Amino acid sequence: MMVLDAIDKQIINLLRENGKMNNKEVAGKIGLSVTPTFERIKRLERIGVIQGYTALINRKAIGRDLKVICQVSLKSHEKEGIDVFESAIRELPEVSHAYHVAGATDYMLTIEVANMEVYQDFLKNQLARIPHIGQVNSSFVMSELK
């Protein structure tokens, strides 16, 4: 386990809130000069604590108004079936998140599409065609709380 001090944790929290914050802004908020702040950020990247930077996109602004939480169970848990399913899921742009989970289902997927009609088409013509799927249960997000 990596040992992170209080300053490292402050940097992580600041960058989680705003990944576009530059080194000077981060330095000002944590009370260090720019050079040691830059070195700390680079170290956090190098050791894999910071794995990358991304933009949060308003999905409605890009025509993905419907968010679906989809629970998928496989017919069997043989390695070949798992590999085929996971490979296929990685290729579907409608799937924004995919988790292999323990419990009543095998996978939890977050799917973002324009509307119910598009989701129905996606379900019938893409998701259901992936081999080894045993069952699919869909829940539709009404509002996001956090």
The predicted pLDDT at position 111 comes to 98
Structure tokens at 102: 């323990």
CA torsion angle for 23, 29, 30, 35 (degrees, to 10)?
30
Structure tokens at 124: 């019938």
The correct CATH number of 6-46 out of 1.10.10.10, 3.40.50.20, 1.10.260.40, 3.40.50.300 is 1.10.10.10
Answer whether 6-46 and 59-140 agree in fold: no
Residue ranges per structural domain of the chain: 6-46, 59-140
Which numeric CATH code is attached to 59-140?
3.30.70.920
Alpha-carbon distance of 109 to 143, in angstroms, equals: 17
Residue 92 CB neighbours (<10 A)? 15
pLDDT (tens digit per residue) in 55-92: 888 999 999 999 999 999 999 999 999 999 999 999 99
The model scores a pTM over 0.75: yes
Can you list the residues of the chain whose pLDDT is less than 70?
A: 1
The predicted pLDDT at position 1 comes to 67
